[in-house]
Structure 1
Amino acid sequence: MKNADVDNGYAWIILICSSFVYLIIAGSLNTFGILYTELLDYYGDSAGNTAWVSSICTFFALGLGPFANFLGERYTYRRVMMIGSCLVLLGYTTSAYVRRIKMFYLTHGVITGFGFGLMLSPCSTVVNFYFKKKRSFANGIMVSFSGVGGFSFPYMYRWLIDKYTLHGAFLLSGALLFHSCVAVALLVQPQQLVEKQQMTNRKMISWIIYLREAKQRIFKVGLFKIPKYTICFTALCFQFGNFTGNLIALSGQVRSLDLGKQAIVQVLSVYGATEIVSRTFLGWFAGLNIIKRTNLLMMSSFVSSLIAFGIPHLPYKGALLVYAVLMGCFSSTFWSLVGVLLVDCVGLDNLSPAIGLLLFAMGIMICVSQPVTGWLEDSTGSWDMSFRFIGVLSAISCMCLLLGPMIERMSCFQKERKSNLSNIEKQMEEYNDGAIHMEETNDLVIKDCCSKSIDKVVTKQTEEVHPLYSQKNDPCMTHV
């Protein structure tokens, strides 16, 4: 990558390819609601157990972030993402022949999730190396392609299921998603990472050092010492819990109201279409620096919480369509801010491990949000408590950002206090060392004075006893 390629030239090719890959991954994950309702009808299992299929898949898609980024830096993003494309094809193909819901945990959950995991984090990271001034706008464009997938995939899944049944839809979808390898083949490793890897290769002398380097790079927990990163990390994780919980609850609510399968497609398509506009706009607006990016995220979390608490009181199709629009405008737009927020917190050099740690935590969060959302419906017979749970997650995200400045000031105060205490201790040590040195010097002076006084007394007494002693030591008498 040349300097001319930053914000220009081949950087736009990288953006287009990454956006297409993001369309494939996010479009598949976000429209799982179509497959979710079909799995509920086909296998007749509980809502919570069926939600585990999506949770496991998304957990690996996000949780492999630190490892995928490290492998991408080591062996290039292109190779790692190409392997991911092959695993996605394998996962969807094997899912076409599954006859029990628990086998979906392995085929669609683990295998497909591994494939998505090797693609998602490198795809989200590589764009940030090719853009600087237009980084916010580029991230907004890339994540908006999730909306393109969210708009088109529901119709595609519905048509494939109606024409070829559920298992035939999995088989054909796998072949379609495998086309992501074409976009992956056009990716070029950023020059900054190439030079870094060359330096690393010169330093590597054994596998022990290599593994130590990998551990430090993958789990760079020292980043949590940066208060701003810790605050944004926590807020993004809880907002992600709201986002993923909505993907299950919204489809389940439409199904519970007996509005028909086509209504599920319409609601998810409206949500996806809204994402296209809202994510692009937020990415562009964040780049203007009119409002702080953390404040933009806080406003999105606040509105997401309000609408989640309000939707249980409006069990109508029109209200659900409006909810889908608001969800696309606020609940999921945080993706446009992830890259730029993390660069603001830790810088570009630490972006790869920072994104990896965040995606890993998000993978853990989805294992909580989606199953709990389904289990609440199982226990209450309604999705109302599920939506309230989703609203609480966004409220926690908003509170983290609201208290963020105070936490940062407290952290700075503690650092200054520790620094002042350490300076005082150093000054005390220097003072004590000086006092000891002065005491030792005084002792030497006193000893020297005492020694001279004793010599004078002895000399005087000797002269009194032996008068010739003074003459002998008198220079004037040396001739005698």
Structure 2
Amino acid sequence: MSVILTVGAAFCVNALSVGPMKSLGVFFIQYERELGASAGQASLVTSLLYGAFFLSGPFATILANRFGFRQTIILGTLLASAGSIGCSFSQHIAVVHATIGIMTGVGFGLVNVPTIALIGIRYKEKRSFFNNIVTMGSALTAIPLSPLVQLWIDVYGWRGAFLLIGGVILNVIPSCLLMISTKMNKQIAPAKRRLIDLSLLKSITFPAYAVAAGCDMAAMVAITVYLVRFAQDRDVGNYIAASLSSVISIVDLTLRPISGYITTLTNIGPIPIRRTYYFCGVACIQALVVIIFPFTQSIYAIVAVTVAYAICIGLRGALSITILSDLFGTDKLVSSLGLRAFAVGTFSAATPPLIGRIVDSTGSYDAPFYASAMMSVISAILVSMVQIIILRREKEAARKTKSINVDETAEYKL
């Protein structure tokens, strides 16, 4: 019963924090029309949001280890809600950058790291499956939220929509209180734990994996920021364009449990499963799918490619987080999540504005998809290299151990 309560509450926390982030692409055209922002300035909002979300990872790790997971999540919720509410009073795009971009992004980051770390620490054997269940929350929320936000904009204006989103975010607090009891909060953040373990940076493998994770997330952020605007540029109606995010979420939501189950297995019949290679294979397929977007013209073609892209996202699920534990250990999970998040944030913040400049200069929304495909391939290559290096180190360590045991046995016989 406690497992169901904890995982269910974590599902709700993810749904009410990461879920709204996936729906904010609907505001892109509002920034351009109402505040006179360029494509680069408008894309910078989501760029800052995702950048602050991930760059706050080390800060979230320190706060969680110092003050407790529950306190950190509540603080993040209040900050994220304040950013959304404050954005509703914006008169200039720079204020939107500061509020919904930085304040809300940092707040969501403080919520996300402790939530994911909690699942990884408490449920080691089934963390792949439970991570997928928890992260399904954001997909479930995004299904109705994207068209609902468009409805709020039409009825209450974009300022009223941000006020309502701020209220939605506050519901994270009761979910957090259900997820983490006072006793559990003390158990998962002992006083002797390092605030953040920087020993991960001593080897080339973790920085390489962090860069791979950054490229992977930047590839998805590029699609999140520009997919709706790309469809609108192809003369697709606002509601239908906004619903593309819901299409991705529906497919993602359907496939995540399957992905979670498959990646908990060690073999499918005679075929061994290694999570890292599975991740890399799907990432390469995703790159091939994404590169088709610029060649689509009709709404039917756009929806078809969107579904194919969503299948790739769903088949991977939360695997990027799960293989983090596989490669670097559960005992360093809180620190590795925070440090990974910092690298991911750097890429997420830098990518959309750079692409926005290309969009502004060319007047075409094709560039985001080419960039996304390229970054997915780079990510797959780097993750494969990290896995190969770690496997070689493990084999070398096993060989040395065997050699020492043989020498000790021989000495004993003598």
Determine if the TM-score, normalized by the shorter chain, exceeds 0.5: yes
1:355 CA drift (Å): 0.6
In the alignment, is residue 154 of structure 1 matched against residue 146 of structure 2? Answer: yes
Partner of 1:144: 136
| SS of residue paired to 1:146 | helix
The answer to whether the 8 A contact 2:25-2:228 is kept is: yes
1:172 CA drift (Å): 1.6
Letter of the structure 1 residue corresponding to residue 24 of structure 2: F
Instruction: Work out which of the residue numbers 334, 337, 355 in structure 2 matches 1:355.
Output: 337
Rounded Cα–Cα distance in structure 2 between residues aligned with 1:280 and 1:190: 30
Letter of the structure 2 residue corresponding to residue 77 of structure 1: F
1:21 CA drift (Å): 1.2
1:402 CA drift (Å): 3.7
The answer to whether the 8 A contact 2:56-2:109 is kept is: yes
Rounded Cα–Cα distance in structure 1 between residues aligned with 2:189 and 2:296: 56
Instruction: Work out which of the residue numbers 93, 99, 112 in structure 1 matches 2:104.
Output: 112
Partner of 2:245: 268
Q: 1:369-448 alignment to 2 at 5 Å?
A: 369-408=351-390
The answer to whether the 8 A contact 2:82-2:104 is kept is: yes
Letter of the structure 2 residue corresponding to residue 237 of structure 1: G
- Please identify the structure whose Cα radius of gyration is greater: 1
Instruction: Work out which of the residue numbers 3, 20, 33 in structure 2 matches 1:28.
Output: 20
Q: Which has the higher contact order (CA 8 A, sep 6+)?
A: 2
Partner of 1:282: 259
Partner of 2:210: 233
Rounded Cα–Cα distance in structure 1 between residues aligned with 2:202 and 2:242: 44
Partner of 1:343: 325
Q: 1:43-62 alignment to 2 at 5 Å?
A: 43-62=35-54
The superposition leaves residues 12-68 of structure 1 with CA deviations (integer Å, 9 ceiling, x where unpaired) of 211111111111222111122111222223223211111111111222211111221
Rounded Cα–Cα distance in structure 2 between residues aligned with 1:259 and 1:271: 17
Letter of the structure 2 residue corresponding to residue 241 of structure 1: A
Letter of the structure 2 residue corresponding to residue 309 of structure 1: I
Rounded Cα–Cα distance in structure 2 between residues aligned with 1:308 and 1:281: 22
Q: 1:192-203 alignment to 2 at 5 Å?
A: 194=186, 200=192
Letter of the structure 2 residue corresponding to residue 259 of structure 1: V
Instruction: Work out which of the residue numbers 60, 76, 98 in structure 2 matches 1:84.
Output: 76
Rounded Cα–Cα distance in structure 2 between residues aligned with 1:409 and 1:388: 32
Q: From the superposition, tell whether residues 69 and 316 of structure 1 become closer, same or farther in structure 2 (CA, over 3 Å).
A: same
The superposition leaves residues 276-325 of structure 1 with CA deviations (integer Å, 9 ceiling, x where unpaired) of 01222211110112321001210121011111222211222112112222
Q: From the superposition, tell whether residues 282 and 113 of structure 1 become closer, same or farther in structure 2 (CA, over 3 Å).
A: same
1:196 CA drift (Å): 7.4
1:404 CA drift (Å): 4.0
Rounded Cα–Cα distance in structure 1 between residues aligned with 2:213 and 2:227: 21
Once the two structures are overlaid, the 10-residue window that deviates more, 306-315 or 268-277, is 306-315
Letter of the structure 1 residue corresponding to residue 310 of structure 2: G
Partner of 1:328: 310
Q: From the superposition, tell whether residues 94 and 230 of structure 1 become closer, same or farther in structure 2 (CA, over 3 Å).
A: closer
The answer to whether the 8 A contact 2:20-2:165 is kept is: no
The answer to whether the 8 A contact 1:65-1:360 is kept is: yes
In the alignment, is residue 126 of structure 1 matched against residue 118 of structure 2? Answer: yes
Rounded Cα–Cα distance in structure 1 between residues aligned with 2:58 and 2:213: 17
1:197 CA drift (Å): 5.3
Letter of the structure 1 residue corresponding to residue 29 of structure 2: T
The superposition leaves residues 193-215 of structure 1 with CA deviations (integer Å, 9 ceiling, x where unpaired) of 735755539xxxxxxxxxxx54x
Partner of 1:243: 220
The answer to whether the 8 A contact 2:214-2:346 is kept is: no
1:327 CA drift (Å): 2.2
Rounded Cα–Cα distance in structure 2 between residues aligned with 1:193 and 1:160: 37
Unaligned runs of at least 5 residues, structure 2:
268-272, 405-414
Rounded Cα–Cα distance in structure 1 between residues aligned with 2:121 and 2:86: 36
The answer to whether the 8 A contact 2:12-2:137 is kept is: yes
1:358 CA drift (Å): 0.8
TM-score by length of 2: 0.88
Rounded Cα–Cα distance in structure 2 between residues aligned with 1:131 and 1:405: 23
Partner of 1:172: 164
The answer to whether the 8 A contact 1:129-1:190 is kept is: no
Letter of the structure 1 residue corresponding to residue 149 of structure 2: Y
| SS of residue paired to 1:287 | coil
The superposition leaves residues 164-195 of structure 1 with CA deviations (integer Å, 9 ceiling, x where unpaired) of 01111111221122111110122326978735
TM-score by length of 1: 0.77
The answer to whether the 8 A contact 2:54-2:342 is kept is: yes
Letter of the structure 1 residue corresponding to residue 362 of structure 2: T
Q: From the superposition, tell whether residues 409 and 90 of structure 1 become closer, same or farther in structure 2 (CA, over 3 Å).
A: closer
The answer to whether the 8 A contact 1:51-1:370 is kept is: yes
The percentage of counterpart residues that share the same residue type is 23
Rounded Cα–Cα distance in structure 2 between residues aligned with 1:48 and 1:310: 23
Q: From the superposition, tell whether residues 199 and 268 of structure 1 become closer, same or farther in structure 2 (CA, over 3 Å).
A: closer
Unaligned runs of at least 5 residues, structure 1:
1-8, 202-212, 424-480
| SS of residue paired to 1:273 | helix
Aligned residues: 397
